[in-house]
Amino acid sequence: MFYEIRTYRLKNGAIPGYLEVVGEEGIEIQKKHLGNLVGYFFSEIGPINEIVHIWAYASLDDREARRARLAADPAWQAFLPKIRDLIEVAENKIMKPAPFFRVGGGAGPVK
């Protein structure tokens, strides 16, 4: 399993508008193609104006195929301009879980 952690730093004051438009429209388009949403967060303490969302994929090839389908979707292409100008900086990481980590939290034998 691979986890994609996407972090966006938004313009000051943009979090409520971003969350509204993503919640009303964007997240369903993403979930349709990307599948396994692990979490979607916004910062409360620490670096402000940050959005972090985490997606799980069976492999890097799975991720590539799913992201290509998302990018090709006309609904996604129409949605992107609604958030594009709210994002100042975007960062993307691909992470692998430690061998002792159980999906859903905690440590222990992986079965």
pLDDT per position as a tens digit, 45-83: 888 899 999 999 999 999 999 999 999 999 999 999 999
Q: Is residue 103 part of a domain?
A: no
For the domain that residue 59 is a member of, what is the CATH number? 3.30.70.100
Helix residue spans in 1-111 (DSSP H):
15-21, 27-34, 60-72, 74-79, 81-84
Q: Is residue 25 part of a domain?
A: yes
* Contact between 101 and 3 (Cβ < 8 Å): no
Give how many domains the chain has, as a whole number.
1
pLDDT of residue 108: 54
Domain that holds residue 85: 2-95
Q: Is residue 107 part of a domain?
A: no
* Contact between 5 and 38 (Cβ < 8 Å): no
Whether the pLDDT of residue 106 is over 70: the answer is no
The structure tokens 């389908």 sit at: 69
Q: Is residue 102 part of a domain?
A: no
pLDDT per position as a tens digit, 7-45: 999 999 999 999 999 999 999 999 999 989 999 999 988
Q: Is residue 18 part of a domain?
A: yes
Q: Is residue 90 part of a domain?
A: yes
Q: Is residue 105 part of a domain?
A: no
Q: Is residue 73 part of a domain?
A: yes
Regarding beta strands 87-95 and 50-57, do their DSSP bridges make them parallel or antiparallel, or are they unpaired? unpaired
Q: Give 101 or 86, the one with higher predicted confidence.
A: 86
pLDDT of residue 9: 95
Residue 86 identity (one-letter amino acid) = L
